[in-house]
Each structure stands twice: as structure tokens, then as C-alpha cells.
Amino acid sequence: MRIEDYALIGDMQSAALVARDGSIDWLCLPRFDSPSCFAALLGSERNGHWWMGPTGRRPATRRRYRPDTLILESEWDTPTGTVRVIDFMPPRDRNPDVVRIVEGVSGSVEVSTQLRVRFDYGRIVPWVRRTNGHLQAIGGPDSVWLHSPVPLKGGDYAHRATFTVKEGQRLPFVFTWHPSHEPMPQQIHCENQLEETEAYWAEWVGKCTYDGPYREAVVRSLITLKGLTYAPTGGIVAAPTTSLPEDLGGVRNWDYRFCWLRDATLTLDALISSGYLEEAADWRAWLLRAIAGRPQDLQIMYGVAGERRLPELRLDWLDGYEDSRPVRIGNEAVRQLQLDVYGEVMNCLFVARSRGLSADDRAWTIQRQLLDYVEDHWDEPDEGLWEVRGPRRHFVHSKVMCWAALDRAVKYVERFHRTGPVEKWRTLRDTVHAEILDKGFDKRRNTFTQSYGSSELDAALLMIPIVGFLPADDPRVAGTVAAIEKELMADELVLRYPIAEDNDVDGLPGGEGAFLACSFWLVEVMAMQGRKDEAKDLFERLLALRNDVGLLAEEYDPRYGRLVGNFPQAFSHVPLVHAARALS
């Protein structure tokens, strides 16, 4: 299956990817960052999957989410009738459940299923037994149960069944995880859970304040972002997957199942602007716990509960998605210096407070300590927004976001009457601003550059007017945008930065696709410049890249005409929401 052939279901603690042919090929339990029990996405079916569909295995004729929910419906038309599979994960009470309801729509259809459980990212073959008619698979700390009215028969380290579904008939299958040392969990009532899950999403979507012409795309993006939140703590993962390649067959494969401060703050910005303050309060509480102790030790990312150690390992027994190796878990970028996150955190907290989030004295104390760090380190080189694995540089975007951190601090004091060395912040803000104009702008080409002393461009420069560093109609911004449109676009989409053998900026071999967030940033800037028709055309081109259920990966590769990178990607859906607002 292509990456765009997958759909997402989740319970705000973990998520599964369901392929167009009815196979669940990726599922980590009990958390987003737990070892998987289905890992066919990064290997083969022998690394774990759960297929359900008409005998003969074919892509669904059509599929959709139930309106304004994360409940997936896939339908197959066959010569003998039509069958539907309803997939969802109920918001969790105690144990995580994956529910699949097979429904006869018309006629009579022969349906087959195959279940192959493999714990620890496809490596552990579990011990499977049958208890009171239900299947239990145990491997180390993990145990799963399959409850169904259809008996599955074992063989070749898998369990299979073939059965017939007639019009009006509904057969439920429930896959439940729990710690292996605990007794069998209580079985849920599928139809009740379906009703409650639909009601949950309807109530949540009902709070959305966006009512513009792109409501369908915005709401689907907001639901996806909500699906990437970790409800127990308020953390937000960048994506529910690891090692889906940015370059098919290449090494640009990373684990995104963690909470990047940048991605989380931008996600919250989109949610807050759409009427969701509760998520902002939850995330602020998560942030305060995560960075408790010495705020100057701030990391760029954490685990979903605030864990700091995220060691990067390679899973050599997995072949990788379309032979893209290595497959990685953990992320070595956790140790990088990325100065832009301070600006994103300060901006998000300022926006949340401006939208009505209650004051928090402890939060302001920590914000002041973060500003102390910015004051001492803003003039250092870093790895930047794109987490380069080459040498550190003085990235212009990082400097702009340091400016933004100071700017929001000044505005925080002015608007909310907080105490702080506001005159010192104003002076430093002006100093940073002046240095960027002096060292980060190429007067000859009339464009800002990727880093000091570089002649290269960077799509992150599009954030300059978005964060208010300069107005969108400033000639220097106009020159930068024009240069990006001329030099960084492929197939009408924006690349992050030039990649060539003589450009060692990211320290990695191979190419990549167009980073979708960058193109959405261009839409927003075009709208700010009054180029509404051009912005609308590009925005609708980007909407057309979504898959059939409205989801986006990290990138789109014009070379192959395919989505690439981890999926679905918060960093793609967030700027979609902002671009839609800019056009509205």
C-alpha cells in the first residue's frame, strides 16, 4: 500500500493505520510510542497485521469517515453484494480497544480475516491460546484478546476465518490490549461504544468556531490533530508513525511519535484559533511538568508523558517501508539545540492567554526563565528548525524566532500586566532584529538567506511576515518570497531548502519531497500580500494532495507523485488550518 492508501483511527492515546484493502498494518499499544503489535507497514505481514475484507483481498470500492468523526467506514462492492467494515477506537476508559464491525449492506458477501500478532515491532511471536471461545496472545509484558462471534483457526503462526455476511447482519470483532500479568479485561459492548464514540466527536467538533468556505478540510485537520493528542497528559505527538521515508528507499527515516515543542505549539495555535482552549490548558500543564526543575535545560522534544531520554535505535529485523532503511525508534535529535522553539513556546502561550486561557503564576515564572536562556544564547549557532545533522549554523529562522520570544514577552507584560525586565527585553529585541537585517539579508539579491554568510534560501523564511518580524508588504519580504517562488518550487510546491551534493546543510545523502507545511506558509503569505487568487489556487492544489479521507503526510514527492514521510503529519495539517483562515 502507498502511504496515501492508509486512514487513521485512534483513541487519543494511540492510533492505528488502516489500509485501503482493510488491513491494519500499524498499531502501537498502549501508547503512541509503545512497541507495535502490528508492524507490516515497516516490514511484511509476518511482522504483524489484521486484515478484514471480502475473500480475494482487493482495495475498498470507497471509504469515508463518518461525518465529523474518526470512525472509518470502508465498503466493497462484489458480484454478490456489498459489505461494509466499520473501524474505530473508542475513547479509552481503561484498556485500549480496536473495534471492527462487519456489516452486510446488500446481498450476501463472503468475508475473510487474517490476524497475525507480533509484539516488539514484529519480533516476538506470541503464545496464543483459546479461552471460553476467545483468542488470547501473550508475549512478555503484552497480552491481547480477540473477541468475536466468528471462530478463528490457527496455522502458520496466524489465525484466519472465512464467513458469510448477509444484508442487515452486523458482526463485531474487538481487539483489546492489557498488561499480560493482569486478568482478562471486561469485554465492551460494541454498538454502545460506536454510539458513544460518534457522540464524543460530534460534541467536540461542535465547539469549532471556523465557519469559512473550507470547513470540511479544516474540521478534518482539527480532528486529526486532536487524534494526535495524548489525553492523559496533554502531550501532542508529531505523527503516530516512525520511519516512513522522506526519500523512498533512502535513509531519511525518523521516529515522530514524540512531543516536539515546536509541533505541539503550532498544533495548539491551530486548535486555539478554532475555539479549543481546553487543549491549551492541558498542554500548558504538560509543559510545566516536562520542563520542571531547570527550565534552562529545555529539550526540543519529550515523550508523551514528559520523558527526556529518547535514545535512537535501529531495528535491523525490519526491511523498512519499500526497503527504506534503517528503521529507527527514538530520536537522536532530542539532544540538538534548536533556538526557534523558545519563540514558538512564547508565542503559543501568548496567543492562548489572549484567547482567554487563565493566568498561571508558575507558567509566567518559567517563561521568564526561558527568556533568560534566550538572552544568553540567542547569538549561538544551532541545528535549526529542520534538525540538520550537519554542522551548526546561524540559521536566520532561529534568530527570527528568538526575536519573537522577546517580542511576545514584551507584549505579555504590556497586555497582561506581568512583571519583568521589559526594557531589557525591548532593547535585546531591537538588537536581534538589527543583527538579522545586517547578517541575514543579502542586499545584492534582495532576499533573506538560510543562515548568516550563506547564499542559500530556506522556506522557513516565509515565517518572517507570519510572526510579525516584518510586514508582508516590506520590499525585503517581497524579494524573499519572489526568490523562494523562483528557486525553491518543484511542481508548484515549495521545497524546504536546496539539496545538492555540494550542499552539506543537513549532512544526509539522498533527496526528499516538497515539505507540505512550506507550501501552506506560502499560501498564508500570498494572502497577506493581497495575492488572494494565487493563494487560493495554490491552496486548492494542496487540498487535492490529501488522500481520499482528507489526510496528509509530511511531504509530497513530485518525482513519484506520492505522499512521503510520517503519516498523518501534524505539521502539515496545522498550516492547512491557518492558510484556510487567511483565505477566509
In this prediction, residues 278-298 reach a mean pLDDT of 84
Residue 195 in domain: no
Residue 246 in domain: yes
Same domain, 174 and 241: no
The SS3 assignment for 369 reads: helix
Helices 361-377 and 422-439: crossing angle in degrees, nearest 10, is 40
- Write the pLDDT tens digit of every residue in 322-374: 999 999 999 998 999 999 999 999 999 999 999 998 988 988 998 999 999 99
Residue matched to cell numbers 507550501: 519
- Write the pLDDT tens digit of every residue in 220-233: 999 999 999 999 99
State residue 512's pLDDT score. Answer: 81
Same domain, 13 and 160: yes
Residue 400 in domain: yes
Contact at 8 Å (CB) between 354 and 341? no
Q: pLDDT confidence of 292, banded at 50, 70, 90?
A: confident
187 has a pLDDT exceeding 70: yes
Same domain, 256 and 162: no
507 has a pLDDT exceeding 70: no
164 has a pLDDT exceeding 60: yes
Residue matched to cell numbers 484466519: 160
Contact at 8 Å (CB) between 210 and 581? yes
The last residue of one of the domains, among 165, 185, 205, is: 185
51 has a pLDDT exceeding 80: yes
Q: What is the CATH number of the domain that holds 445?
A: 1.50.10.10
Q: pLDDT confidence of 513, banded at 50, 70, 90?
A: confident
State residue 52's pLDDT score. Answer: 98
Residues 391 and 239: their CA atoms lie apart, in Å, by 27
In this prediction, residues 130-156 reach a mean pLDDT of 94
In this prediction, residues 534-563 reach a mean pLDDT of 96
Q: Which helix (H) or strand (E) holds 538?
A: helix 532-543
Same domain, 220 and 356: yes
State residue 506's pLDDT score. Answer: 63
CA atoms within 13 A on the CB side of 179: 3
- Write the pLDDT tens digit of every residue in 382-412: 999 998 877 899 999 999 999 999 999 999 9
- Write the pLDDT tens digit of every residue in 437-465: 999 999 999 999 999 999 999 999 999 99
In this prediction, residues 303-312 reach a mean pLDDT of 94
Helices 570-583 and 516-528: crossing angle in degrees, nearest 10, is 20
State residue 388's pLDDT score. Answer: 83
Residue 152 in domain: yes
Query: Which range, of 131-145, 268-282, 293-307, 563-577, averages the lowest pLDDT?
Result: 293-307
Q: What is the CATH number of the domain that holds 74?
A: 2.70.98.40
Contact at 8 Å (CB) between 55 and 81? no
Residues 390 and 100: their CA atoms lie apart, in Å, by 46
The SS3 assignment for 381 reads: coil
The last residue of one of the domains, among 166, 185, 204, is: 185
Residue 202 in domain: no
State residue 504's pLDDT score. Answer: 61
Same domain, 166 and 218: no
Helices 570-583 and 215-227: crossing angle in degrees, nearest 10, is 150
**DSSP assignment of 396-421:** HHHHHHHHHHHHHHHHHHHHH---S-
Residue 458 in domain: yes
Same domain, 167 and 309: no
The torsion angles phi and psi of 51, rounded to 5 degrees, stand at -100, 145
Residue 242 in domain: yes
**Which residues are paired to 114 by β-bridges?**
51, 160
Same domain, 228 and 111: no
The SS3 assignment for 113 reads: strand
Residues 310 and 329: their CA atoms lie apart, in Å, by 9
The SS3 assignment for 102 reads: strand
Closest among 66, 76, 69, 82 to 20, alpha carbons compared: 76
Residues 332 and 311: their CA atoms lie apart, in Å, by 6
Same domain, 32 and 169: yes
263 has a pLDDT exceeding 80: yes
Same domain, 137 and 234: no
| CA quadruple 1, 569, 219, 29: dihedral sign | positive
- The number of beta carbons lying within 10 Å of the beta carbon of residue 326 is 14
In this prediction, residues 139-145 reach a mean pLDDT of 96
Same domain, 579 and 443: yes
Cis peptide before 326 (omega within 30 of 0): yes
Same domain, 181 and 217: no
The last residue of one of the domains, among 185, 203, 237, is: 185
Tell me, what amino acid is at 85? V
Domain, as residue range, for 528: 213-583
Residue matched to cell numbers 511531504: 555
Q: pLDDT confidence of 500, banded at 50, 70, 90?
A: low
The CA–CA distances, whole Å, from 368 to 363, 385, 408, 418, 420 equal 9, 23, 11, 10, 8
- The number of beta carbons lying within 10 Å of the beta carbon of residue 277 is 16
- Write the pLDDT tens digit of every residue in 86-128: 999 999 988 999 999 999 999 999 999 999 999 999 999 999 9
The SS3 assignment for 159 reads: strand
The torsion angles phi and psi of 28, rounded to 5 degrees, stand at -110, 130
Q: Give me the number of domains the chain comprises.
A: 2
Residues 178 and 68: their CA atoms lie apart, in Å, by 29
The CA–CA distances, whole Å, from 127 to 53, 97, 124 equal 26, 20, 9
Query: Which range, of 137-141, 235-239, 265-269, averages the lowest pLDDT?
Result: 265-269
State residue 503's pLDDT score. Answer: 52
In this prediction, residues 560-583 reach a mean pLDDT of 96
State residue 294's pLDDT score. Answer: 75
293 has a pLDDT exceeding 80: no
Same domain, 420 and 377: yes
State residue 180's pLDDT score. Answer: 96
315 has a pLDDT exceeding 70: yes
Residue 67 in domain: yes
Helices (H), 274-421: 277-290, 340-354, 361-377, 396-416
State residue 295's pLDDT score. Answer: 67
Mean pLDDT, the chain, whole residue set:
94
